[in-house]
Amino acid sequence: MTFVLLLLGTIGAFAAIQTASHISGDADGEAFAVFDIHQRYAWLTFWMAGITTAVRFMSLRWSSVIWANCLIVILLISLSVAVCITGHHGA
């Protein structure tokens, strides 16, 4: 179930990046700077989600390896932080 949710989240992140990558032309310089930070974190979130999904897929084959589960937990926590920062700059 974790793998399926990660895969759907990664696809959703890519779709969000591709469909909402613009800002109004009459925005001031500060808005463009915040949007640039938001867009950078959005790409970081997408790549982290992709890596986490790949590691989770590989760990399905290595169910007896405890370090794979620890790595996935660390990646998921990092991914959650990246999503929070992206959302903060996007709101």
pLDDT at 11: 93
Q: Is 15 exposed, middle or buried (0-12, 13-18, 19+ CB in 10 A)?
A: exposed
Q: Which two tokens stand for residue 36?
A: 């640039």
**pLDDT for 21:** 63
Task: Return the H-helix or E-strand segment holding 11.
Answer: helix 2-19
Q: Give residue 87's identity as a one-letter amino acid code.
A: G
pLDDT 10s digits, 25-64 = 677 778 778 888 888 998 999 999 999 999 888 888 876 7
- Class of residue 43 by CB neighbours under 10 A (exposed 0-12, middle 13-18, buried 19+): middle
| pLDDT score recorded for residue 25 | 66
